[in-house]
Amino acid sequence: MSSLLSFSATTGRLDAVLAALSGASRSQVAGWIAGGHVQVEGQPVTKASLKLRGGERLDVTPPRCRTPAWRQRTCPWT
């Protein structure tokens, strides 16, 4: 089960802000957004280019890493 991550947004595009805050790449974050794993102020969002003013609460439930056990690696959001 993935855990919920919460962040306080800075000003900018949702994908760029969340990538900077989480340490994940923008393409990973775009996948989370498209997959319905991101909420802004409790509302699901699907638009990576959403403009943030700063201070919004970002909640993310990232999908599990799909790395085989024999090839352990650390997920960028843990």
Look up residue 54 and give its two tokens.
């700063």
- pLDDT, tens only, 1-10: 458 899 999 9
Percent with pLDDT over 70 in the chain? 79
Q: What is the pLDDT of residues 48-67, one digit of tens each?
A: 999 999 999 999 997 776 66
Position 59 scores a pLDDT of 96
5 CB-contact burial (10 Å; exposed 0-12 / middle 13-18 / buried 19+) = middle
pTM above 0.85, yes or no: no
β partners of residue 40: 43, 58
pLDDT at 78: 44
Give the rounded distance of the alpha carbon of 5 from its chain centre: 8
